[in-house]
């Protein structure tokens, strides 16, 4: 396929939840989207169309990251944005975590976004307004309980990865933003009390914020966007 005139975003883990909502929002706004996920997305439109591309991606398989980036460039001819959404949850306290669980959490939540960004970097440099958006978490900014401590460790790491990308991309006009939600009404919030479920931030809310960040001019560099469904009593 020849180079599209649309702006192109690669979104990981867009088969459901926040990633799906972001993909839907960007497609509605006229973007072209390449989804990296284990299975082809359903409900976004026709995969293989002018605006929607899919590549098999597994955060535990570095070869799939390279294959995804290369396939997206071959399909659309350009990359203007990365949205690192794929991630996994842990409810293990840091003091009880096995080395294997720590390694796996960092592999999925931190190392995979880093490697994809490195692979896509030359293409981002060719864009006039490149963006890297990372779905971090408020858990990357504070630890609220023992069972969230290992997850917070991984999200603090990816939050600082985002800041590192911001500095590395400054000279080439590549902006990076960490989106830091609290509880969002997805599968990960399934254990929340039923009475608060209808109050939680919606995936569509996060998607609008991500699109806004992606469409900002380079004169508005936003480092972090914290989002929550309530006013926290303490940080």
**Which one from 57, 75, 151, 235 is the annotated catalytic residue?**
151
Annotated active-site residue 151? The verdict is: yes
How far apart are alpha carbons 132 and 165 in whole angstroms? 8
Q: What is the mean pLDDT of residues 224-232?
A: 86
Task: Give pLDDT tens digits for 37-92.
Answer: 999 999 999 998 999 999 999 999 999 999 999 999 999 999 999 999 999 999 99
Helix, strand or coil for residue 234?
A: coil
pLDDT at 4: 86
pTM of the shown model: 0.93
How far apart are alpha carbons 188 and 151 in whole angstroms? 12
H helices then E strands: how many in the chain? 6, 7
Task: Give 29's contacts (C-beta < 8 A, 6+ positions apart).
Answer: 211, 215
E-assigned strands of the chain?
A: 8-12, 32-37, 52-56, 81-84, 131-135, 175-181, 224-227
């Amino acid at each position: 396929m020849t180079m599209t005139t649309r702006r192109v975003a690669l979104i990981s883990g867009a088969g459901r939840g926040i990633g799906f909502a972001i993909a839907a929002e960007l497609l509605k706004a006229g973007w072209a989207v390449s989804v990296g996920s284990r299975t082809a997305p359903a409900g976004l439109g026709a995969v293989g169309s002018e605006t929607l591309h899919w590549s098999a991606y597994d955060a535990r398989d570095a070869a799939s990251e390279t294959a995804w980036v290369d396939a997206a460039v071959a399909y659309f001819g350009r990359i203007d944005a990365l949205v690192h959404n794929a991630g996994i949850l842990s409810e293990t306290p840091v003091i009880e975590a096995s080395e294997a669980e720590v390694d796996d959490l960092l592999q999925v939540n931190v190392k995979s976004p880093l490697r994809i960004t490195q692979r896509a970097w030359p293409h981002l440099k060719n864009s006039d307004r490149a963006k890297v958006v990372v779905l971090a978490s408020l858990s990357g900014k504070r630890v609220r309980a023992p069972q969230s401590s290992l997850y917070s460790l991984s999200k603090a790491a990816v939050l600082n990865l985002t800041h590192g990308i911001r500095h590395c991309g400054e000279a080439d006009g590549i902006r990076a933003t960490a989106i830091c939600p609290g509880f969002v009404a997805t599968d990960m919030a399934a254990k929340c009390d039923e009475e608060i479920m209808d109050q939680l931030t919606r995936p569509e809310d996060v998607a609008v914020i991500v699109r806004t960040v992606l469409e900002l001019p380079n004169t508005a560099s936003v480092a972090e966007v914290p989002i929550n469904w309530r006013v926290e009593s303490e940080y």
